Amino acid sequence: MLDKLAQLEENYQDLTKKLSDPDVIADHNSYREYAKAHSDLESVVVVYHDYKDVLQEIDEGKELLEEELEPDFRQMLVDELEQLETKKVKLEEKLKLLLLPKDPNDEKNVIIEIRAGTGGDEAALFAGDLLRMYSRYAETHNWRVELMSSSPTELGGFKEVIFMVEGKGAYSRLKYESGVHRVQRIPETESGGRIHTSTATVAVLPEAEEVEVNIDPNDLRIDVYRSSGPGGQSVNTTDSAVRITYLPTGLVVSCQDEKSQHKNRDKAMKILRARVYDQLQAEKDAELAAKRRSQVGTGDRSERIRTYNFPQGRMTDHRIGLTLYRLESIIEGNIDEIIENLIAAEQTELLNTLES
């Protein structure tokens, strides 16, 4: 580990020099590339410097103990060395985590697709609850939410809703939400007071840039039509809705929320790129699956990952066995505690894999 850290420190120093080079500063693309690499290394290098300082203090303290010292001063030195050893262990653990392989998509924006599953109208209402939960969570992180496409129901829920979350590190935290979410509660329409179980499926896709996914325009079939609202009612009288079919895979994306055909087409292309990119990533992950343990929370979307039990005010994340009795707060978007536990579980699993 120390050899790797020394190499990273050297790389960081080289990048620091390049960022002050006039030729690099004049080349915006190169400067942006070096600045990102420099920023990525900074956190680990700062901790590594702290770690080296602690090692030096420990060595100096041990040398002092070999000398003749006053009993009180010797005891003070022994206590200080104990504290330094504890700090050393904590920094080593922190460095191990910082050296774990990074998900290249972590800093990206995300496109989240929520679809009502079993449960009819109640499932559609639950899909709306999840949309609000993620929207409010995004607000707490100062991320921007943009609705991409939706199929609302007359009762105020959604058969399907797709939206983008724009913000630094959005994917790194929201990627754990992919999977089947189950809700247990008494629907407002239930006169007998019986608890119903409904589901909604969440898919979290990293936003894909055009340079990352090469889509040939000749492979697209684009249809335009008039948009409609809940129950098939007409929303406008122009052909503003857009349906794009990606012929090589049969993927279909429709957008009708905007009044402008151009805006609907742009949104549909963003969703399509994200889905194609996700398929490519899934193929790569499948190739690696035999070589490593599956990661927490980023696997099969048919997996039931979480249950929201309203009568008991309980949320259970089945992947890590986490149960919290503050469901109302969670539904209002306070899900950081869940995500932090999922991140910790994945980091532990990765560490165990690397050390085994």
- Model pLDDT, residue 232: 44
In a domain, 279, yes or no: yes
**Contact of 210 with 279, CB cutoff 8 Å:** no
Token reading at 222: 């684009």
What is the per-residue pLDDT for 130? 97
Q: Which residues pair with 345 in a beta bridge?
A: none
Residues 298 and 151 in one domain: yes
Is residue 178 in some structural domain? yes
Sheet arrangement for strand 220-225? 220-225, 241-246, 251-255
pLDDT (0 to 100) of residue 124: 95
Side-chain-facing half-sphere of 116: CA atoms under 13 Å = 20
Q: Is 63 left (phi over 0), alpha (psi -120 to 50) or beta?
A: alpha
In a domain? residue 103? no
The predicted pLDDT at position 349 comes to: 86
Q: What is the mean pLDDT of each run of 10 residues along the chain (356 residues)?
A: 88 93 90 89 93 94 89 92 94 88 88 94 95 97 94 92 94 94 86 86 89 86 78 58 92 88 91 90 66 45 86 96 97 96 90 72
> 302 in a domain, yes or no?
yes
CATH number for the domain spanning 268: value is 3.30.70.1660
Shared-domain flag, residues 158 and 38: no
Q: Does residue 169 sit in the same domain as residue 304? A: yes
Is 104 inside any structural domain? no
Residue 202's pLDDT is: 95
284 shares its domain with 203: yes
- Is 132 found in the same domain as 88? no
Q: What is the pLDDT of residue 170?
A: 95
Within this chain, do residues 9 and 72 fall inside the same structural domain, yes or no? yes
Query: For position 302, what pLDDT does the model report?
Result: 66
Which domain range does residue 74 map to? 2-98
Is residue 243 domain-resident?
yes
Total domains in the fold of the chain: 2
pLDDT for 342 = 95
What gap in Å lies between CA 27 and CA 282, rounded to an integer?
35
